[in-house]
């Protein structure tokens, strides 16, 4: 798996939009428990972006620019959103590019894992809001592959960039394109003083050793790194 990120100034612009939209939560008492089992003092909820038009435009503009410059729009046949948080994001991108859209279900409805029309051999961009480890992205890619699509690129608004990627995703040639990470949030929040100092300090400690931090707070630890 290859990773692609925006330039620093653009990442910081996205991080600021996420903070201003209330997408970022920080705890200094009880950690957040991610579905993958890791513990974190911070949580990202990009679903709030649907209620903030200016932030939506910022995200869309940066995403299209990044995808175009990385060449993954060349020959693209469709844009697929991961249920449910990736559906709105995929709709914005598909509309901007005038491309067909699909969405991938978390659980198939009958024998339909993918809603929308996918032609055999179609090159499809998978879009979701957040990637912590990537286990759901593996399932979405498999569902698209099963209906004949080829997924070579995944776009996420935000990537934790702290925990090991799922082994199935890490072993593929799929590229993950992320608009911002926790390091970007830290740098913006520290400069603007968006959160109380104890919260900033907790985030700094977490980012230095996220796996050890997780284990110390009841989540997965170093023993899980080799299994992801």
- Pairwise CA distance, residues 66 & 76, whole Å: 15
User: What own/partner pairs with CB < 8 Å and gap ≥ 24 does 18-22 have?
Assistant: 18/44, 18/46, 18/49, 18/55, 18/157, 18/158, 18/180, 18/185, 19/185, 19/188, 19/189, 19/192, 19/194, 20/52, 20/55, 21/48, 21/49, 21/51, 21/52, 21/55, 22/48
- Confirm or deny that 105 is annotated as ligand binding: yes
- Confirm or deny that 136 is annotated as ligand binding: yes
- Confirm or deny that 156 is annotated as ligand binding: no
- Confirm or deny that 132 is annotated as ligand binding: yes
- Confirm or deny that 26 is annotated as ligand binding: no
- Confirm or deny that 130 is annotated as ligand binding: yes
- Confirm or deny that 133 is annotated as ligand binding: yes
- Pairwise CA distance, residues 97 & 111, whole Å: 29
- Confirm or deny that 9 is annotated as ligand binding: no
- Confirm or deny that 123 is annotated as ligand binding: no
- Confirm or deny that 135 is annotated as ligand binding: yes
- Confirm or deny that 142 is annotated as ligand binding: no
Q: Which residues define the annotated binding site?
A: 105-106, 128-136
Q: Which residues define the annotated binding site for 5-phospho-alpha-D-ribose 1-diphosphate?
A: 105-106, 128-136
């Amino acid at each position: 798996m290859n990773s692609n990120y925006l330039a620093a100034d653009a990442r910081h612009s996205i991080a600021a939009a996420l903070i201003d939209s209330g997408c970022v939560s920080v705890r200094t008492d009880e950690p957040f428990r991610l579905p993958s089992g890791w513990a974190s003092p911070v949580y990202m909820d990009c679903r709030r972006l649907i209620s903030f038009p200016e932030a939506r435009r910022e995200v869309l503009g940066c995403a299209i620019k990044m995808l175009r410059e990385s060449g993954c729009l060349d020959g693209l046949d469709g844009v697929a959103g991961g249920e449910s948080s990736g559906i709105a994001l995929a709709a914005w991108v598909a509309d901007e590019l005038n491309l067909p859209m699909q969405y991938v279900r978390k659980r198939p409805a009958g024998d339909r894992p993918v809603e929308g029309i996918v032609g055999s051999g179609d090159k499809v961009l998978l879009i979701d809001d957040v990637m912590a480890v990537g286990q759901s992205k593996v399932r979405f890619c498999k569902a698209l592959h099963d209906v004949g699509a080829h997924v070579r690129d995944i776009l996420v608004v935000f990537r934790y960039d702290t925990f090991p990627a799922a082994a199935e995703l890490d072993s593929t040639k799929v590229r993950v394109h992320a608009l911002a990470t926790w390091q970007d949030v830290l740098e913006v929040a520290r400069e603007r003083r968006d959160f109380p100092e104890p919260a900033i300090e907790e985030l700094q400690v977490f980012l230095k050793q996220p796996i050890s931090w997780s284990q110390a707070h009841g989540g997965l630890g170093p023993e899980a790194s080799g299994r992801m």
